[in-house]
Amino acid sequence: MNRFSLQTRLYSGVGSLSVLKRFHEKHIWVICDGFLAHSPLIDMLKQAIPADNRISIFSDITPDPTIATVVEGIAQMQSLKPNVVVGFGGGSALDAAKAIVWFSKQLGIDIETCVAIPTTSGTGSEVTSACVISDPQKGIKYPLFDNALYPDIAILDPELVVSVPPAITANTGLDVLTHALEAYVSPKASDFTDALAEKAAQLVFQYLPVAVSNGECLATRGKMHNAATLAGMAFSQSGLGINHAIAHQLGGQFHLPHGLANALLLTAVIQFNAKDKRAARRYARLAKACHFCPSTANEQVAVNALVRQIEQLKKQCHVPSFSSALKTTAQCFRERIPVMVEAALADVTIKTTPRPADASEIRHLLEEML
């Protein structure tokens, strides 16, 4: 039996920040990073909130939010007792906000509403039952999944992403594509998740190069914002796979941006997964839906076409090579492979990968990156 649920109310389009006008005489606690806390975007957010509300800001969020940050946030939440929590920013801020609210509820500290407002188009965290918390001492990222992690409201306003730099636009956009592809070939995929993942992938291929080259185009930014959320809805229901299981280790060990780590692995993972007949059939179906090959093409031709299009997309988006992105020696990378293999096998996202992998196969995928 499949289960599909949409628990987050979604508001999208230019001016959708106006949804915040529904709040009156509340204590609104905004969780964001230090950069956003002093940027024009925080002013946009404050202007959208009626003046009769009290606003507090927790801006200690860093990339890959840590256990310590979440613990600090829980302590502040216990002290402030806000009515509304707003996660504002990229995936790190949204994940931190969700984790703080979730753990606080388990401690008996509840709120009225959790609002997620992304300022990048990538993680889909605004509509997922997932968040990722890091332990920097161990170099490990811990993905958490629970239906209680869904935000109550998500606001997708493209005006909040027009200033995102090209490199971050590319990384987050390729994260969207990875979410869509892993959801599409997951053993838990359904007709419902397929529709979301397929549309997300089509939007990324069509609009990501434009968003990278012309970030001020609101229409394009809106499409990528929608793609991120569609892919988030898909993988929240169907799960992810080995691409994310390994990418989490590249981020935890070498601090590679998550979307970039996913992008660097993506075509190798597709070729690995495509040795599974069902996965190959699904990759081929997606390639045909995106018109990358004739509808009469055989599966291998279609899978190869999909791989070529992804490599072309990465080139259009100026994605760096692995060696230049890594910023450490090949020897250092090789030394950490055993730890990464062990952690990848324990990563919750690997449970829904279409082709099960053992330690030697994950090691091979990592070694191939060099």
pLDDT per residue as tens digits for the range 302-339? 999 999 999 999 999 999 999 999 989 999 999 999 99
Q: Does residue 272 register a pLDDT over 80?
A: yes
Mean pLDDT score, 259-284: 98
Cβ distance 68 to 99 under 8 Å?
A: no
CA dihedral 132, 314, 241, 207 (to 10 degrees): 80
Whole-number percent of the chain with pLDDT over 70: 100
Q: Does residue 84 register a pLDDT over 90?
A: yes
User: One-letter amino acid identity for 185?
Assistant: V
Q: Does residue 2 register a pLDDT over 80?
A: no
pLDDT band at 174 (very low <50, low <70, confident <90, very high): very high
pLDDT band at 343 (very low <50, low <70, confident <90, very high): very high
Task: Determine the pLDDT at residue 139.
Answer: 85
pLDDT band at 4 (very low <50, low <70, confident <90, very high): confident
The Cα–Cα gap between 367 and 370 comes to 6
Options 3.50.30.10, 3.40.50.11310, 1.20.1090.10, 3.40.50.200; CATH for 166-368 is 1.20.1090.10
Task: Determine the pLDDT at residue 156.
Answer: 98
Task: Determine the pLDDT at residue 6.
Answer: 84
Q: Does residue 108 register a pLDDT over 80?
A: yes
Please provide the distance, in angstroms rounded to a whole number, between the alpha carbons at the two ends of the chain.
42
Task: Determine the pLDDT at residue 138.
Answer: 87
Q: Per residue in 22-67, pLDDT tens?
A: 999 999 999 999 999 999 999 999 999 999 999 999 999 988 899 9
Mean pLDDT score, 100-115: 95
Mean of the per-residue pLDDT values for the chain?
Answer: 96
Which residues of the chain does CATH 1.20.1090.10 include?
166-368
Give me 324's structure tokens. Answer: 């230049």
The Cα–Cα gap between 165 and 216 comes to 10
Mean pLDDT score, 198-227: 97
Beta bridge partners of 134: 66, 141
Which residues of the chain does CATH 3.40.50.1970 include?
9-160
Cβ distance 246 to 340 under 8 Å?
A: yes
Task: Determine the pLDDT at residue 229.
Answer: 98
Going edge to edge, which strands form the sheet with 27-33?
9-12, 153-156, 113-118, 84-89, 27-33, 54-61
Q: Does residue 1 register a pLDDT over 80?
A: no
* Top CATH class, 9-160: alpha beta
253: Cα separation from own chain's centroid: 19
What is the torsional sign of CA 184, 186, 187, 189?
A: negative
Whole-number percent of the chain with pLDDT over 90: 94
Q: What is the pTM of this model?
A: 0.95
Task: Determine the pLDDT at residue 251.
Answer: 94
* Per-residue buried b or exposed e for 112-141, using 16+ beta carbons within 10 Å of the residue's own CB: ebbbbbbbbbbbbbbbbbbbbbbeeeebbb
Strands (E), 34-75: 54-61
Angle between helices 299-316 and 166-185 (to 10 degrees): 160
83 DSSP assignment? S
